[in-house]
Homo-oligomer: A and B are copies of this chain.
């Protein structure tokens, strides 16, 4: 607890960042919300969720950071419409096509710059290692190495701690933590495909739905008909 401190929180608008924001709100005196826009397919819907969550926590300091170069660079199904998003496969071990090359470093670099100017002492990132899709820049050791780079690449008086409170949690534990902290999960958005109703079939939807199911909690957002049934099929398949 640092009631006087300012924390920058990376908020995509998804479930994980929503719960991370709830944790950051508990642990800090004031918050600044950072959102990255990089040509992701559901950018508009994510941004709505971002602002809804920011309003929920009465956060006035907001930075919408354009990382349009990530879209220009491409190499990911999230930013290049020519690369199809495959049906989810939760047993896969390789890195999926939705990996956006070095995205988290691009976001963190901007967030560290912002935090340095704001005089913030912490940055919160809702990355999840074990239960995630295997992105290399979602692993704890990546964040630790980036922490080291941030220490060395900023002013000596700048001390920013990068916190990843969900990094070793399962999606089910994240749902439970969100419920415990009254995080506004109904305002969050996780789907990679839809912008009005979540598809229930992409990686991100499947992981979310499985988390709610395992936590014994009803997901408050609507899904396309048959979406949530997909999880049951996968569990028994």
Contact, CB under 8 Å: B156 / A152 = no
- When chains A and B are docked, how far (Å) is the Cα of A139 from the Cα of B156? 13
Smallest CB–CB gap between A143 and chain B, Å?
Answer: 9
- When chains A and B are docked, how far (Å) is the Cα of A150 from the Cα of B99? 15
Closest B residue, CB atoms, query A117: B75
Contact, CB under 8 Å: A136 / B149 = no
Closest B residue, CB atoms, query A95: B155
Contact, CB under 8 Å: B69 / A65 = yes
Asked if A141 is an interface residue, CB under 8 A from chain B, the answer is yes
Binds B, one of A11-19, A100-108, A208-216, A228-236: A100-108
Chain B neighbourhood of A106, CB < 8 A: 106, 109-110, 113
Contact, CB under 8 Å: B137 / A73 = no
Smallest CB–CB gap between A218 and chain B, Å?
Answer: 36
Contact, CB under 8 Å: B104 / A153 = yes
Smallest CB–CB gap between A184 and chain B, Å?
Answer: 26
Work out how many copies of this chain go into the complex. 2
Could you mark each residue 143-185 of chain A with 1 if its beta carbon is under 8 Å from any beta carbon of chain B, else 0? 0011011111111100000000000000000000000000000
Contact, CB under 8 Å: A66 / B69 = yes
Asked if A70 is an interface residue, CB under 8 A from chain B, the answer is yes
A–B complex contacts, Cβ < 8 Å, 24 sampled: A66-B69, A67-B110, A69-B110, A69-B114, A70-B110, A73-B114, A74-B117, A101-B112, A101-B113, A101-B154, A102-B116, A103-B113, A105-B105, A105-B109, A106-B110, A136-B152, A141-B152, A142-B149, A142-B153, A145-B148, A145-B149, A145-B151, A145-B152, A149-B149
Binding site for B on A (CB under 8 A): 63, 65-70, 72-75, 95, 99-106, 108-110, 112-114, 116-117, 136-137, 139, 141-142, 145-146, 148-156
Given pairs A136-B152, A149-B149, 18 additional interface contacts (CB within 8 A):
A65-B69, A66-B66, A69-B113, A73-B113, A75-B113, A102-B113, A102-B150, A102-B153, A103-B113, A104-B153, A106-B109, A108-B109, A136-B156, A137-B152, A137-B154, A142-B152, A142-B153, A145-B152
